[in-house]
Amino acid sequence: MARQAIDAGLETGFEGLRLYPAKLGPEAQRSLIDALREAARLAPPYRPRMPKTGQPWSIMQTNLGPLGWVSDPTGYRYDGFHPLTHEPWPAIPSALLTLWAEISGYDAPPECCLVNIYRGEKARMGLHQDRDEEASDAPVVSISLGDTCLFRVGGFARSDKTKSFRLASGDVLVLGGASRMRFHGVDRVHPGTSQLVEGGGRLNLTLRRVTKPLGQ
């Protein structure tokens, strides 16, 4: 179901990892924040817990779309319902569906928009792979809103050499093709680098296709 993206983005030194600096302008960013604020009323952000140990994460999360990504002591999985309210997740905003259609290079729509909320100096994301999706040929499209972060990407083993660069509000990053399974994470967030998010912090939205489209 892959096709050529309309806009190829910038080279990052990794095949399939494409960066779109300031892809979303100020008005588009504010519109998304408004949509996320409304969605949060229906799907309140919560603090996920690590599998087995039950240790809380340093970030908060929520989801949009037919499926949501969940982490708890039983493991990682996609689920159609909020783990606390047991209600379906809100719909993915149309602006994000349009963005996916423009730059993903994939002919089926995303089924999950995972929202990671970074607040405070200790909020970060360790190196990991996004590997819980059946449709592993589909890219992950990542949208940054709010404070700038230091993003790290490596190889296909956690111990491989890594490269770091900053992601600012409005930047969009696509992990696809040969880089779909690279380890990546967020080392830190730089407080005060944006006034977009009320109370400060960074929001990271990742659009994912979870199931294989019919016919595959």
201's tokens: 């912090």
End-to-end CA distance of the chain: 8
Domain ranges, ordered by start, for the chain: 10-208
**pLDDT number for residue 121:** 83
**What residues in the chain have per-residue pLDDT under 50?**
5-6
In whole angstroms, how far apart are CA 117 and each of 2, 26, 69, 144, 199? 30, 19, 14, 10, 12
**pLDDT number for residue 9:** 56
The model's pLDDT over 172-215, given as tens digits with 9 standing for 90+, comes to 999 999 999 999 999 999 999 999 999 999 999 999 999 999 87
Q: Which CATH number fits domain 10-208: 2.50.20.20, 3.40.630.30, 2.60.120.590, 2.40.110.10?
A: 2.60.120.590
| Separation between Cα atoms, residue 102 and residue 38, nearest integer Å | 25
